Amino acid sequence: MAEAIGCSVDFISLVERGVNAPSVAGLEKFAKVLKVEVKDLFTFEEKRG
C-alpha cells in the first residue's frame, strides 16, 4: 500500500491509528489503490453478529 501510494509504511501506520491524516490528494491515492471512491473511505457499515 505504501509503495503504491508513494509514502512510507510509518505514515500508513500513523493514518491507521488516527495519529496523522492524509491530505485530499493522499485520500485520492488511497481510494485509487483500494479501488473505491473517496467517499467510501468515510462510510462505515455496522456489522451485525
Number of helices followed by number of strands (H, E) in the chain: 3, 0
Tell me the domain boundaries of the chain.
2-42
Is residue 26 within 8 A of residue 7, CB to CB? The reply is yes
* pLDDT tens profile 27-38: 999 999 999 999
CB 5 within 8 A of CB 26: yes
Which band of pLDDT confidence, cut at 50, 70 and 90, is reported for residue 11?
A: very high
483500494: which residue's cell? 34
Predicted TM-score (pTM) of the model is 0.76
Q: What pLDDT sits at residue 14?
A: 96
The answer to whether residues 13 and 1 touch, using CB atoms and an 8 Å cutoff, is no
